[in-house]
Amino acid sequence: MGAAKLRLFVAVELPAAVREHLQTVQDAIRPELPRVGWTRGENLHITIKFLGDTPEQLVKRVGGAMATRADGVIRVRAEGLELFPRSGDIRIFSAGVVGDVNRLWALQDAVEANLAEQGYPREQRHYVPHITLARGKEKIKSSVRPRVQRLASSFWPGPEFEVRELVLMQSILEPGGARYVPLSRAAVV
């Protein structure tokens, strides 16, 4: 029998006020999106790096590799509804992240570099910081774009917050949706 593998990602946890604000946005757009899976409030986060299935014995090493320092305090907030892909039918409904995004990119790049040294390939797509609010169970017609954008427009900007630490999270897939368990933390300031 092989070693246990854990589904892991590195994330920025959100303060309670930010999660509550984003749940209000979810409630506003929910009537337009009956066929999506909603991110539970306690699971709202900014993904820095998705690692996928990782042998359990590597968790400590991965936790150490995510440790890096930000170039100053990173202040960000949720602003605007981001729909992915950006054109055509939609799979992901998320909140955009604005503020000290250049510093957040630099932090994400440093984590990518540290984890590349541990054998995790660098992401080839351009990093777009966002907070996933919902995922389509199937592609959602692009015709909903203007309606959900309009419904969410009065909720921006969201509360500002500081990125102070990174969290190595385990994602446990369950019938009612994923449950996230923090495995380690690393201060970034």
Helix axes 16-29, 145-152, angle to 10 degrees: 140
pTM: 0.92
| Domains contained in the chain, CATH given | 5-187 (3.90.1140.10)
Low-confidence ranges of the chain (pLDDT < 70): 1-3
15 is written with which tokens?
A: 């303060």
pLDDT at 2: 60
Contact 8, 52 (CB under 8 A): yes
Q: At CA 6, angle to CA 63 and CA 91, rounded to 5?
A: 100
pLDDT at 66: 85
DSSP 97-141: EEESHHHHHHHHHHHHHHHHTTTPPPP-SPP--EEEEEEEEEEEP
Average pLDDT, the chain: 93
Q: Which residues on adjacent β-strands are paired with residue 72? A: none
Contact 106, 61 (CB under 8 A): no
